[in-house]
Structure 1
C-alpha cells in the first residue's frame, strides 16, 4: 500500500511553502484566512466523521491520558506536579481544588500560543501582546471548539524497530529520522489520509514506566536526552504533505531533545552568537509557529498499540477534548481512541 501523500485540497506542498515571499518561508500563514486560529485542524474538514466512525470495529475504547501521578518527578524544570486539595463542608460532601496546576505537565496538547518562530513570530502573525488570560487569540478554547475528532492512525515505530533487531536505546535519547517513520508506515501497510490525526509510538513511556530505574527517572529533569523525531525539513514536509491535522506521541516532546546539532531550525544568533536557549533548534518552531500544527506529548498509547499489533489494524476513531480555556497555552489531552 502506498503511503505517498495524496493532497486533495489545492494547498501548496511544503517545498512550495519554502519558496513563499508573501509570508515567512515554510509557513502556511493566511492560507486558512488572516483571522485563522486553529491551524492544521482546518484539515479535519477532509476527515469525515461518518467514515471515521467506520473505523470502529470491535467497540473497544482506550483512554490515552496518563494518571496524574504517573510521572514520579517533573520532566521539565518549569513544570511541577499540582497539589490536589480536598475539603468537606459536611460529612456527606466533598469538593476540591488544584494548586500549581500546569496544563502541560502530563499527557498534553500544545496549543498555538506555546511556541513561536524566533525570526517570524507566532502562528498567522498573531500579536503576542494580546496573549493575556482574558484575550482568546490563539487560545485553547479555539481548539476545543473545533471540536477535535476524526480518523487517526498509529505508527508504532518502537515495535517496528524491535522487529528489525535495532530497538531504540531510550537512555541515550536517539533521533528518529523521517525514513524510519516512512518505513514503519510501509511495514504496517498504513495509509495516511488527508486530515488524519497521527499518533507515533516510540515505546518511550513503556521504557520510563517498566525499564528505567528510579535514579534514571529522577535524573531526567536535569539530564535531558529524550528519544524523538530528528529535526529536519524532510520531517516537516512529510507531516504537512500528508495533510496531518494533529500529531501526538508517547514521548517527552515529539521530537528528540535537545535538538540535533544539524537541525535546520537554529537561528543565526544561536549558531554564531552562542545564545543560550533550551529551545534552540527545535522543530516545534516550524510545526507550531509556522504551520499551526498542535502537538500532543506523553500520550499513553501502549495498550492501544498492543491491540493494533494483535490484529494488524492501525486506524481508529480518536476524540481529543482540551480544556476550553480562554487564552490557554496548552491543556491536558483528554484523548480517547475507539477501534
Structure 2
C-alpha cells in the first residue's frame, strides 16, 4: 500500500476516503448500479447532442488565453494531403484522400475539468508551510509538472517547440477511463430565473428542486441549465463579452450551505451550460479566499469534476415538456494522457 502523501487533509474534504492513490474522486460512486439507473430512464430512444460546435464561442473575447481550434491538412509526399488524388502519382488509382490535424485549446468550448485543473495552497504535512497541492494531496511540480521557460508554452495559437507539461497524476485520462456513463439529473435554473444574471445559493437552488420535484442522489451527474450556451450560439462566433457577463444564473460559491449540499448530495460531477459554473471572478470573499471557491470545493477537496459550456437547452425543453428531469448521460472526455482538461461530445438519451 502506498504511503499517504499527507498528514492533514483540508476541512470538508474526502481525501483518502477512496484510497491513498485515488485519482477518480467522486466518480468512484458511478457504479454499475448507477449505470443501470441511467439506462432505466431511456423510454423514447431519443438522443441529444450536448456539445457546442468546438469552434464556439468564437474569437477570444471571453478568454484571451484560449483560442479557437485550428485545422490544417497533413503533408503527403511533399504535397497537401487534402483532396489528394492517387492517379496523379499512380495512374489508374481511383482514390481521393484527405487527412488533417487540429491544434486545440482543450478548454475552449464544451469541456470537462480534470482534477489537476485547480489546486490550492495547503499545509498538508504540518510543517507550517503551505504547499501547492491538488486533490488527494498530489503535488505541483512533482505530480503535475510544467515548463519554466515561456518558450515551451503555446503562444497565440502557435505550436510550442516542445511540450513539457503533464499531469502525471489526476490527468483527464483518469476520468475517461471511467466512461462517465450514468444517470443525469437536469436542474432547470433558466425556467425559474430567466436570462437575468442571478446568483444561485442554497435557498435559490432548493426552491427550484422543490418546484420541479428534482431529487439528486449519490452517484448522479447534475446538469445545470441556464440558457447561456443557447445565447452564445445566437451570437454566431462573435460573442459579446459584456452582454455575457450579465447573462444567466451562476452558482454562488461563497454560500457555505450550497457547498455543503454538494458534499451531502453525493453527486459525482456538475456540468453547466455557462462559462464557469460559479460566479467568476469572485470578489466577495476578499483577498484571503479563493477566487473560485466552488472549484476549490469540488476539484480540490471532493474530487468532483466540473463541466462547462455544455449545450443543454434542447434537452431541458424536452424534459420539461415531458415532465421529466432524469436521463441516461454518456460523457467521457478525450482520453488524452496528462491533460488538465478536455473537450467532449456528451450524449443524453431519454
Q: TM-score surpassing 0.5?
A: yes
Greater share of strand: 2
Match of 2:64 in 1: 77
Match of 2:212 in 1: 188
Match of 1:113 in 2: 116
Distance 1:58 1:284, change over 3 A: same
Query: What's the TM-score once normalised by structure 2's chain length?
Result: 0.78
CA deviation profile, 1:180-236 (whole Å, cap 9, x unmatched): 2211111111121210000001111223334x6998x24359x95664101122111
**C-alpha separation in 2, matches of 1:214 and 1:244:** 33
CA deviation profile, 1:259-298 (whole Å, cap 9, x unmatched): 141x4xx563x6xxxxxxxx72532111111111100000
Aligned to 1:243, which of 256, 266, 275? Answer: 266
**C-alpha separation in 2, matches of 1:96 and 1:225:** 38
Q: Judge conservation of contact 1:152–1:316 (CA < 8 Å) in 2.
A: yes
Q: Judge conservation of contact 1:258–1:282 (CA < 8 Å) in 2.
A: no
**C-alpha separation in 1, matches of 2:207 and 2:217:** 17
Match of 2:203 in 1: 179
Aligned to 1:128, which of 132, 137, 140? Answer: 140
Structure 2 runs not aligned, ≥5 long: 1-6, 74-80, 86-95, 124-132, 146-164
**C-alpha separation in 2, matches of 1:63 and 1:32:** 32
Q: How many residues align?
A: 295
Q: Judge conservation of contact 1:47–1:195 (CA < 8 Å) in 2.
A: no
Matched, 1:229 2:251: yes
Moved more, 79-88 or 193-202: 79-88
Q: Which has the larger radius of gyration?
A: 2
Match of 1:219 in 2: 241
Structure 1 runs not aligned, ≥5 long: 1-20, 162-166, 271-278
Q: Judge conservation of contact 1:112–1:294 (CA < 8 Å) in 2.
A: yes
Aligned to 2:334, which of 301, 311, 323? Answer: 323
Matched, 1:253 2:276: yes
Match of 1:38 in 2: 24
Query: What's the TM-score once normalised by structure 1's chain length?
Result: 0.80
**C-alpha separation in 1, matches of 2:9 and 2:134:** 12
**C-alpha separation in 1, matches of 2:18 and 2:111:** 25
Pairwise CA RMSD of aligned residues? 2.4
